[in-house]
């Protein structure tokens, strides 16, 4: 197979670095250009020291990008939507990893991002890049959005219950997300200063987190809402930073309509994910790794999902874990890209993670 | 003032070690004996290396304990209630840091501990050793129980809202607790093996955690229930182990009955805790430490409490932090002991915690 | 190419787990059996949770091992040499990752291991499995030993200077090794209990470390000694455990005979390692990763080497880093295996490591 | 006793924060002013969140400092020596925690700091603030310098051997220091960005570290050199950053002139430090904490010292540990201040450190 020419804009950040790593080893890809405004002219490994001796590519300036088959955007929020026409002019297929094109509704966007979208005409066209929920649409898509790292863990963990129609939506859904420091990006600052960030268990967004909007949209959709509508349930989403570089763990509390048993829940999850290459159901009776654990997912594209059921309360606790830079960002984008291209979705994504680590 | 003679049973564990440290520096105490079945005859600093050169006490055997004024029990769950008569024979005042005497109702105990209590006749007599809620009872108490570390953070964070009567108890209360590794004690095992425990974000008790019972009892009581009754609300409590040695952070999601504003919430908290020596309200507009953060509490007896209010959802997120071995165990026990004795509750507990750490 | 049948004995430990991971993805290998005395009958992923859904192999009992093309031994020290005849009867080529066959001299073994070797007749035959120094011998070898993780970092870092003949051996060589917790293996114990091991900077073997013997042998050999002789220099080797799961950093202080300059040192290292696939010279003027750093090597087979020269003291500080389970154990063993088989040494070992991590 | 009026300049950094904490609880001190150029007008707890509710002091501007009894300077290197006359005009006794006045010789300063000293006339007058070596001088001193954190650990660990005259100074002394992130100060930057700094084992100054100069001066002096002369031995000092916020561990390799035995070494150390309040000899046969370990010293003023002797090599490995912000900076400065004032040196410094932590 001849290789596709793929380029990246915004390649000096953490998500960009992971994309470079994945695409350098992707058998169907020739990584053509990697642009960075701040590091143009420097070797890629000056920003990504793990790529020393792996590649001798240098960052180009974004103005020097040429046409390619697929263009990945790893830009700060708001930047990609402002320049989206230029980027779509460079490549027939664009995958944007920022938050700009995750929502189908300009109103929902305004509610949660607090600003008017700068390219609302593209919102319906863009596809939410989660192959597990949007596989069919991806094959036709010309504009694909990435997905929020915590939103991905929560949506993948919860979607089977919403699709099965068992959730009591009269009771709020509480989603408590724990996340590592790499989710805040590569720019140093007071909150990421090691003596202060090390060992932190730090509530940083107890209310109002933007990823909530992705849950309202995607869980609404699997629950049967039309595109552009949202779930009719209170979602109480809170995020806490923990001592970890890579990783997200989501603990979600769902109340179900009727008394279920554990076997019914297993059936719901197995039907939803039995053939998904990157979802593993993790729920064991013994051992240390009985539930999903993000640290053993570092570098892998898995989303591990488990649950526990408390019949007296009709409560399901859903636990899901992933690597925020992989299944929560770059890995998931490559999986979507594989789906777009009609390839095996695992192409270039087979690294299983390490243990111990 | 002449010093009280105080002894400790079960002094080789982490809670025991903290008690020894605190009592050695307590001006009104002479630490008479420290018993340990497994380490009898060894120097105390063989188990607690921070006490090298601080004390030359050796552990005695539990059988060799003599009478004293106050006896602290730091024994594994279930052990203290079986031998409670013997220990009460040694000292007119006993403070038990295990879970055995935390609940006033033998039925509630059976529901959550799964076994029949071995000394139910003492349950009504024992005082839940939380000075903020039981100060008056402590002065008369002859049997005081310690409090669960996560329960303490949750109860102290939530009690003002329940006492103020603003909580909508028709909606479940979700309490998500994050906890460090010292809460599992000093005995090595597979789940505490460093290569596996390091960097963990590990759901270890998503449902059925025993500390829930303490919330049902204590929040019920501040909400106006009789002793022995419990709160009439679903409490969804989940615990996750995070990378940290000492510390608990609780994130609790409460829905309120009526539309409040932030000033009303501030008023509720200030009224509840304005004069409490070990509770600090932490809620700042800027900076890294805007909400409670357990790491800067290591070694201190503070419980830091903050909140965020989301009016659209009528949701209050309550965030509370403490050191599980201090305000969550030994420090809180010393504070209760001070209250029992009529001393300033801060005696021997003035260490403020470190920053950075 | 038809695949070789490869089996592993001692597959439930950390080194065994890494070998399983590497061999499952090795294109020229069919992983036939994985034996474990303690876990026979259980799924491999019960010990190695990162391999969930990757393989459905179960551990067999060591007694049930059948013949294969290559057998890897991941047994505790002393066990493999006692049963080596049995294992050599199962496979024409055996690779032993324990310390048993690292030394060519039974006397040197006795000096450092404090016991008489149980199969001294095999010591001259075994090959020290370090392709960078023993590539030619590996192609003919039937018994290959693994290499000590800290010894590997030290030897690879220092060999070019010894081979170039620039070292002043009248002055002791000081080697200070820092190592993560996985190097102590998968068995829990007091020294690996998380509350005690977390954040440790713990001198655990300031004198007398066995890896010293590997340096005496291998640096002696590159310096021109005969096989079985050792370097005629004092080696002061100390090991300190640091907060890290995977990784070794060695800082070695070498004094040189004559006044060198930095370019001469660069030339020595480039000549030694210019074509080595797994050695990278890391020495940059700016940036955070100016010297070798173990954390970005986790999961990779690289040994990164850097140095700094202080002309006033004629001192070279050599800094080398690797992942103790990869280039320090399983990865290096697979590289040796590739060399034995005449394959590209990077086969199955291309994972570059992660950043950030 | 009436309290001394004490002020601090440069109070917003980590060393300043520790000084504030210590002086607030010091019984003989009234903390009068804390100056900070960058935070003037803000509450002290805005920079030091552990001091919430402990003090309501606000930072003043350095220009607003008034006279006091003792002034502590916690300024960046080079700043205090330029303004030293002004500060000495404010207080009869000044304690400077920067590097400016650590060396007695302007030549030695120039050799290691690479610049000409701006107040060389004060160098002979200033006292190196290490009570263990300069107790008598401190009582008369009007200008006291702090000591380098790694230098302190190394000097205290090695001084007894140099004073006893047993060191073979023909062989270089190798000092390998491991240090936590707080030693680099409170200002964020690329090298302290958590995703990059977390889990690091990072050689940051393999040669040329300025603390070497303190060793040359102080070890020279205990070995009998005149003030202003330095040790006639090569000191090979290297520093490595490890995963830890507070703490220094020094591993030093000394070769001795004659064959000693362990009892002789014990005797040397006991004679040197038997009555020192903040030095503990740590060398045990069993247990996890057999050698000095910095983590249990966080917040304490101890320097723990151990050693191991290898007779075949006539090598002593000296291991010393301390908290870089306490015995390595603020705690040591308070101890020096106590010595200056003729008080018990432990006043305000009795916190023993925590375990586990």
Give me the residues of D, 268-297, that contact B with CB < 8 A.
280, 282, 287-289, 293, 296
Radius of gyration (C-alpha) of chain D in whole angstroms:
20
Chains touching A (3+ CB pairs < 8 Å): B, C, D
| D186/A197 CB distance under 8 A | no
| B191/A321 CB distance under 8 A | no
pLDDT of residue C2: 82
Q: Is residue D354 in some structural domain? A: no
| D236/C292 CB distance under 8 A | no
| D245/A190 CB distance under 8 A | no
User: Model confidence at D1, in pLDDT bands (50, 70, 90)?
Assistant: low
pLDDT of residue A93: 98
CATH number of the domain encompassing residue C209? 3.30.360.10
Number of domains chain D contains: 2
CA-based angle B182:B185:B189, to the nearest 5? Answer: 105
Q: Is residue A281 in some structural domain? A: yes
Tell me which residue in B14, B193, B243 faces C188 most closely, judged by beta carbons. Answer: B193
Average pLDDT score, chain D: 97
Check if A356 contacts D (Cβ < 8 Å): no
Average pLDDT over residues D317-343: 98
Chain C residues in contact with A329 by the CB 8 A cut-off are none
Chains touching D (3+ CB pairs < 8 Å): A, B, C
Supply φ then ψ for residue D24, to 5 degrees.
Answer: -60, -30
Residues C118 and C234 grouped into a single domain:
no
Tell me the shortest Cα–Cα distance from A99 to chain D, in angstroms.
Answer: 22
Q: Is residue D357 in some structural domain? A: no
Answer whether residue C91 shows pLDDT above 80. yes
CATH number of the domain encompassing residue D100? 3.40.50.720
Average pLDDT over residues C161-183: 98
C-alpha span between B304 and B153 (Å, rounded): 9
Residues of chain B with pLDDT under 70: 1
Q: Which of B288, B198, B239 is nearest to A176 (CA)?
A: B239
Residues D318 and D210 grouped into a single domain:
yes
Tell me the shortest Cα–Cα distance from A97 to chain B, in angstroms.
Answer: 26
Q: Is residue A349 in some structural domain? A: no
Q: Least CA distance to B301: which residue of chain D?
A: D50
pLDDT of residue C227: 82
| C356/A54 CB distance under 8 A | no
Q: Is residue C261 in some structural domain? A: yes
Residues A126 and A176 grouped into a single domain:
no
Q: Least CA distance to A287: which residue of chain C?
A: C46
Q: Is residue C352 in some structural domain? A: no
Structure-block tokens of residue B18: 């903290």
pLDDT of residue A227: 82
| D188/A192 CB distance under 8 A | yes
Whether the Cβ atoms of residue B4 and residue B27 lie closer than 8 Å to each other:
no
| C197/B194 CB distance under 8 A | yes
Q: Least CA distance to B200: which residue of chain C?
A: C194
Residues C26 and C141 grouped into a single domain:
yes
pLDDT of residue A228: 82
Q: Render pLDDT for D132-175 as a digit per residue (tens, 0 to 9).
A: 999 999 999 999 999 999 999 999 999 999 999 999 999 999 99
Residues 6 or more apart whose CB falls under 8 angstroms from that of C261 comprise C309, C311
pLDDT of residue B1: 59
3-state secondary structure chain D: CCCEEEEEECCCCHHHHHHHHHHHCCCCEEEEEEECCCCCCCEHHHHCHHHCCCCCCECECHHHCCCCCEEEECCCCCHHHHCHHHHHHHCCEEEECCCCCCCCCHHHHHHHHCCCCCCHHHCCCCEECCHHHHHHHHCCCCEEECCCHHHHHHHHHHHHHHHHCCECCCCCEEEEEEECHHHHCCCCCHHHEHHHHCCCCEEEECCCCCHHHHHHHHHHHHCCCCCCCCCCCCEEEEEEECCCCCCEEEEEEEEECCCCCHHHHHHHHHHHHCCCCCEEECCCCCCCCCCCCHHHHCCCCCEEEEEEEEHHHCEEEEEEEECCCCCCCHHHHHHHHHHHHCCCCCCCCCCCCCCCC
Residues A142 and A155 grouped into a single domain:
no
Residues C26 and C47 grouped into a single domain:
yes
Q: Render pLDDT for B7-23 as a digit per residue (tens, 0 to 9).
A: 999 999 999 999 999 99
| B292/A203 CB distance under 8 A | yes
Which range marks the domain in which residue C46 is found? Answer: 4-146+329-341
How many other C-beta atoms lie within 10 A of the C-beta of residue A107? 12
Tell me the shortest Cα–Cα distance from C264 to chain D, in angstroms.
Answer: 18
Tell me the shortest Cα–Cα distance from C200 to chain B, in angstroms.
Answer: 11
pLDDT of residue A1: 59
Check if B244 contacts A (Cβ < 8 Å): yes
Give me the residues of A, 309-348, that contact C with CB < 8 A.
none
- D204 by Cβ neighbours in 10 Å (0-12 / 13-18 / 19+) ranks as middle
| C288/D251 CB distance under 8 A | no
Check if D357 contacts C (Cβ < 8 Å): yes
| D240/C253 CB distance under 8 A | no
Residues B179 and B308 grouped into a single domain:
yes
Residues B168 and B308 grouped into a single domain:
yes
Tell me the shortest Cα–Cα distance from C100 to chain D, in angstroms.
Answer: 24
C-alpha span between C172 and C175 (Å, rounded): 10
Tell me which residue in A181, A186, A195 faces D181 most closely, judged by beta carbons. Answer: A195
Q: Which of D181, D191, D197, D207 to mutate to test the interface with C (most CBs of C within 10 A)?
A: D207
Tell me which residue in A182, A186, A195 faces D182 most closely, judged by beta carbons. Answer: A195
Tell me the shortest Cα–Cα distance from A168 to chain B, in angstroms.
Answer: 12
Q: Is residue C15 in some structural domain? A: yes
| B192/C190 CB distance under 8 A | no
Query: What are the C-alpha distances in Å from A175 to residues C355, D71, D251?
Result: 28, 52, 47
Residues A254 and A221 grouped into a single domain:
yes
Whether the Cβ atoms of residue C353 and residue C296 lie closer than 8 Å to each other:
yes
Chain pair A-C, CB pairs under 8 angstroms: 82
Chain B residues in contact with C186 by the CB 8 A cut-off are 193, 195
| C238/D253 CB distance under 8 A | yes
Give me the residues of B, 175-204, that contact C with CB < 8 A.
180-182, 186-190, 192-195, 197-199
Give me the residues of A, 127-166, that contact B with CB < 8 A.
none
Check if D72 contacts A (Cβ < 8 Å): no
Tell me the shortest Cα–Cα distance from D277 to chain A, in angstroms.
Answer: 29
Tell me the shortest Cα–Cα distance from C193 to chain B, in angstroms.
Answer: 5
Query: What are the C-alpha distances in Å from D307 to residues C134, C178, D253, D318, D328?
Result: 37, 18, 10, 4, 20
User: Model confidence at D236, in pLDDT bands (50, 70, 90)?
Assistant: very high
Q: Is B60 noted as a catalytic residue in this protein?
A: no
Give me the residues of B, 250-269, that contact A with CB < 8 A.
251, 253, 255
Chain D residues in contact with A194 by the CB 8 A cut-off are 181, 192-194, 197-198, 245
Q: Render pLDDT for C46-60 as a digit per residue (tens, 0 to 9).
A: 999 999 999 999 999
Catalytic residue positions of C, numbered: 149
Residues D111 and D157 grouped into a single domain:
no
Q: Which of A207, A286, A314 to mutate to test the interface with B (most CBs of B within 10 A)?
A: A207
Residues 6 or more apart whose CB falls under 8 angstroms from that of C147 comprise C102, C128, C129, C130, C155, C214, C328, C332
Q: Is residue C202 in some structural domain? A: yes
Residues C29 and C117 grouped into a single domain:
yes
Structure-block tokens of residue C130: 């370090």
Tell me which residue in A188, A198, A243 faces D188 most closely, judged by beta carbons. Answer: A188
pLDDT of residue D9: 98
Give me the residues of A, 1-30, that contact B with CB < 8 A.
none
How many other C-beta atoms lie within 10 A of the C-beta of residue D92? 12
Residues B90 and B171 grouped into a single domain:
no
pLDDT of residue C1: 59
Per-residue pLDDT of chain A (357 residues; tens, 9 = 90+): 589 999 999 999 999 999 999 999 999 999 999 999 999 999 999 999 999 999 999 999 999 999 999 999 999 999 999 999 999 999 999 999 999 999 999 999 999 999 999 999 999 999 999 999 999 999 999 999 999 999 999 999 999 999 999 999 999 999 999 999 999 999 999 999 999 999 999 999 999 999 999 999 999 999 999 888 999 999 999 999 999 999 999 999 999 999 999 999 999 999 999 999 999 999 999 999 999 999 999 999 999 999 999 999 999 999 999 999 999 999 999 999 999 999 999 999 999 999 999
């Amino acid at each position: 197979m001849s290789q596709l020419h793929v380029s990246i804009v915004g390649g000096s950040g953490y998500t960009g670095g992971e994309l470079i790593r994945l695409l350098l080893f992707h058998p169907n890809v020739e990584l053509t250009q990697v642009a960075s405004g701040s590091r143009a002219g420097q070797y890629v490994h000056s920003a990504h020291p793990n790529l020393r001796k792996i590649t001798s590519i240098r960052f180009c300036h974004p103005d020097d990008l040429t046409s390619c088959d697929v263009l990945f955007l790893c830009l700060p929020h708001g930047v990609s939507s402002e320049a989206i026409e230029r980027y779509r002019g460079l490549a027939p297929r664009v995958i944007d990893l920022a938050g700009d094109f995750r929502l189908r509704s300009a109103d929902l966007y305004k509610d949660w991002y607090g600003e008017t979208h700068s390219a609302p005409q593209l919102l319906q066209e863009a596809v939410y890049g989660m192959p597990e929920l949007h596989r069919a649409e991806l094959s036709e898509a010309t504009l694909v959005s990435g997905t929020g790292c915590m939103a991905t863990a929560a949506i993948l963990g919860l979607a089977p219950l919403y699709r099965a129609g068992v959730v009591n939506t009269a009771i709020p859904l509480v989603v408590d997300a724990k996340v590592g420091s790499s989710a805040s990006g590569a720019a140093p600052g007071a909150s990421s200063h090691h003596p202060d960030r090390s060992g932190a268990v730090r509530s940083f967004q107890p209310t109002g987190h933007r990823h909530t909007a992705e849950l309202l949209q995607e869980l609404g959709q699997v629950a049967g809402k039309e595109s552009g509508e949202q779930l009719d349930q209170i979602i109480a989403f809170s995020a806490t930073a923990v001592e970890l570089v890579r990783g997200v763990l989501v603990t979600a509390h769902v109340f179900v309509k009727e008394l279920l048993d554990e076997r019914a829940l297993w059936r719901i999850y197995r039907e939803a994910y039995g053939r998904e290459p990157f979802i593993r159901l993790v729920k064991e009776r013994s051992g240390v790794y009985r539930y999903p654990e993000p640290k053993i997912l570092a570098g892998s594209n898995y989303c591990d999902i488990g649950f526990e059921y408390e019949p007296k309360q009709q409560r399901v606790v859903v636990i899901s874990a992933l690597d925020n830079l992989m299944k929560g960002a770059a890995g998931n984008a490559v999986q979507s890209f594989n789906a777009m291209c009609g390839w095996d979705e695992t192409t270039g994504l087979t690294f299983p993670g390490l243990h111990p680590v």
